[in-house]
Amino acid sequence: MSRRAGFILAIALLLVLGLIASYVLGKLEPYEDVIEHGPAPEVASSPYLAAEHFLRKQGIAARRAEGLDVLDGLPSEGQTLMLLADRGNMTPRQVERVLQWTAGGGHLLFIAERLWDEEEGKSGDLLLDLLGVQQYMSDELDDEEASEAEAENEQNEEHEAYPQLTKLYLENEQAPAYIAFDTDFHLYDAQNRAHAWANSDSATHLLQLYHGDGLITVLSDPWIWQNRNISEYDHAWLLWYLSQDSAVTLLYHADSDGLARLLLRHFPLALLVLALLIIATLWHVGMRHGPLQAPASRARRQLEEHLRGSADFLLRRSGQHSLLKGLQQDINRRARRRHPGFEKLAVAEQWQVLGRLTRLPAKDISQAMRPLPPQRLSASDFTRQVAHLQTLRNAL
């Protein structure tokens, strides 16, 4: 094969390979890898963040509060306060403050947290008990109570559709709003104060009642407005419906970071307490680990050894009672020098004089000067009694 023919064949092969590659590439579809990083930290720490953004998109002013202190600067009229946080630590004073704020014209929305206890006659949820609202488990309702929840639904055509969903009927609306409340719970208006409510097939999950010039909405659970649920059914619409014509304050971190917020609020006091603790610790360590004392002189040590040896000799020869009685007599002699006529006083009066002269407690004086027991003292009791007597004598 000539060189020219080989060159032409190579070109033809390249053209064929190019056509094949073009055909294959044309059949391939573009693709991309999607890496799920999960929710952003802000979303993970704020279960109602989507609810806040939804309200703002509807033109409703919404803000988040960290505690009930927000009521100090929050007017009642034109405001909605949503207590979505756990209220286990809510005090009676705080409950009274919230109800006073509501009575001034505010809208209070909160979640029922405790079940009604028939034996105690209360639930322990201070807001529920004061408003006469009782919460039960749906499967514990008797036929009469269950029928009350069903009565509102029986006259509507949609009753048979979606029995597990709560239906909220409005005037001039042909179809109800559907909300997926937890059907395990039922709200009961014990004082017949509610003017509006919403039921599922056999339980009530929303109650509204007037309080003073304000309005109170009680829900059986708050999960419908959390980030993962607010887009389902008519959950977002219900949030808008309950918040319309008002500014909204959401409180759902009331119990989180309680200690940190308390320290920030009282930072100067906390700093002062910390400084006092440091000073007290240094003083304690300094008292226990102070400078070492210089050793006693040789003459002092010899004197101490001589006195200790003399005391041991007298103890073996005369006994405990003789030594202790001798110390008591020495105390009486010293007292007579400072208080003439001391020996003529009664024992109780003598002890009173010793107390004035030595400024020692009466307990120490009676411990040292009380009559000695007839039996022999133990080594520890004898040493302790000698110490009491020496302390009293040195004080004189």
pLDDT at 384: 84
Over residues 212-240, the mean pLDDT reads: 90
Over residues 340-346, the mean pLDDT reads: 84
Higher pLDDT, 396 or 256: 396
Q: What's the whole-number average pLDDT of the chain?
A: 79
Over residues 20-28, the mean pLDDT reads: 62
pLDDT at 158: 45
* Whether residue 209 has pLDDT greater than 90: yes
Best-predicted range by mean pLDDT among 35-39, 102-106, 373-377?
Answer: 102-106
131 confidence band (pLDDT: 50, 70, 90): very high
Residue-wise pLDDT tens digits, 97-124:
999 999 999 999 999 988 998 888 888 8
256 confidence band (pLDDT: 50, 70, 90): very low
* Whether residue 290 has pLDDT greater than 60: no
Best-predicted range by mean pLDDT among 198-202, 207-211, 283-287, 377-381?
Answer: 207-211
pLDDT at 155: 47
Share of the chain above pLDDT 90, in %: 15
Long-range contacts for 239-246 (Cβ within 8 Å, ≥24 apart)? 239/51, 239/54, 239/55, 240/54, 240/55, 240/58, 240/60, 241/177, 242/80, 242/107, 242/109, 242/217, 243/55, 243/60, 243/62, 243/80, 244/60, 245/78, 246/60, 246/78, 246/79, 246/80, 246/107
Best-predicted range by mean pLDDT among 174-183, 283-292, 377-386?
Answer: 174-183
* Whether residue 146 has pLDDT greater than 80: no
At the topology level, CATH places domain 39-138+162-249 in Rossmann fold (3.40.50)
* Whether residue 86 has pLDDT greater than 80: yes
pLDDT at 291: 63
CATH 3.40.50.880 range(s) for the chain read: 39-138+162-249
Lowest mean pLDDT among 11-15, 151-155, 260-264, 322-326: 151-155
* Whether residue 210 has pLDDT greater than 90: yes
